[in-house]
């Protein structure tokens, strides 16, 4: 299949392009230099010229804190950009998969969020990503929405890299223990996305690695697997204030992946091991 990947220079996008190539699809990666998704005419022109079978939409405004100050810009990228791509996909009969987020929920649940659970974003980032979901569904009756969380991969900035850097610099770090979720390795998420786009099993999916931990537990496991002797001090969210509120509970139910006969993502500890090995191999 011919597949356009937006955000192809990003943390997830790079692994998506690699996975498409591995599965013998024709990957056409775009970043903001090749395609400005906030320009409707440019989107229509590009998609009509390339005529892809599938659009994998990874491009996003993901700076959660900055979005509080720049909600208009976040909306242009996360919502309007998604709408333009959806309209272009609809026009040429292409499939489209949109990456969304756990931030569409308010984090007050005590058991994993199902795909049809009531959404209630806490901040600008979640609001704009949810708007993207709604605009996609408005223009494409059949589409894929994949909500994910706590993403880490070799190509971008992420929590694992930050912890390893701080651990080596300081030997002691403080990490919040009252925010709980599931880490997601970009290699595993990319595999799921490509598997899903090869089907007609449309709908909303939740895709993270299996298992649950707090950020504190994630940090402890990172240092353990990396063989670093670092003291990790548990903090409350109140002790680590940020401009944007974070959901305290971000665990997403992956039940639909199993129900639809798709491949579940491995445990997050195993994914972390694979990531650290990949990092070593790329030094």
Give yes or no for a contact between 47 and 85, defined as CB atoms under 8 angstroms apart.
yes
Average pLDDT of 34-57? 97
75 is catalytic: no
Catalytic residue among 125, 185, 216, 275: 125
Phi, psi of 98 (to 5 degrees): -115, 130
Residue 240 has what pLDDT?
78
pTM for this structure?
Answer: 0.96
201 phi, psi to nearest 5 deg? -90, 70
CA angle 125, 130, 133 (to 5 degrees): 135
Q: In order of start, what are the domains of the chain with their CATH numbers?
A: 2-157+182-209+251-266 (3.40.50.720)
- Percent share of the chain, pLDDT over 70: 100
Measured CA to CA, the distance from residue 164 to residue 235 in angstroms comes to 18
| Helix locations, the chain, DSSP H | 11-22, 40-50, 64-69, 71-75, 81-92, 124-139, 159-170, 186-197, 215-226, 255-259, 268-281
In tens, the pLDDT along 56-97 reads: 999 999 999 999 999 999 999 999 999 999 999 999 999 999
The predicted pLDDT at position 116 comes to: 96
Mean pLDDT score across all residues of the chain: 96
């Amino acid at each position: 299949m011919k597949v356009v990947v937006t955000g192809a220079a990003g943390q997830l996008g790079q692994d998506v392009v690699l996975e498409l190539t591995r599965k013998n699809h024709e990957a056409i990666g775009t970043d903001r230099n090749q395609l400005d998704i906030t320009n409707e005419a440019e989107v229509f022109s590009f998609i009509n010229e390339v005529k892809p079978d599938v659009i994998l939409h990874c491009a996003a405004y993901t700076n959660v804190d900055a979005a509080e100050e720049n909600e208009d810009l976040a909306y242009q990228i996360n919502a309007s950009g998604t709408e333009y791509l959806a309209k272009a996909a609809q026009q040429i009969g292409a499939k489209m998969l949109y990456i969304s987020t756990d931030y569409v929920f308010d984090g007050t649940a005590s058991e994993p969020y199902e795909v049809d659970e009531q959404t209630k974003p806490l901040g600008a980032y979640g609001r704009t990503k949810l708007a993207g979901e709604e605009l996609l569904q408005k223009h494409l009756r059949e589409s894929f929405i994949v909500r994910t969380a706590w993403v880490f991969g070799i190509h971008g900035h992420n929590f694992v890299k930050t912890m390893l850097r701080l651990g080596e610099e300081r030997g002691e770090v403080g990490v919040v223990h009252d925010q709980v979720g599931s880490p997601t390795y970009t290699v595993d998420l990319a595999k799921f996305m490509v598997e899903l786009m090869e089907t007609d099993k449309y709908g909303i999916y939740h895709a993270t690695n299996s298992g649950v931990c707090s950020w504190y537990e994630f940090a402890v496991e990172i240092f353990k697997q990396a063989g670093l002797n670092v003291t990790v001090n548990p903090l409350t969210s109140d002790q680590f204030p940020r401009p944007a509120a974070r959901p305290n509970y971000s665990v997403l139910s992956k039940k639909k992946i199993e129900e639809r006969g798709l491949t579940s993502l491995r445990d997050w500890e195993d994914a972390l091991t694979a990531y650290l090995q990949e990092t070593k191999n790329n030094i």
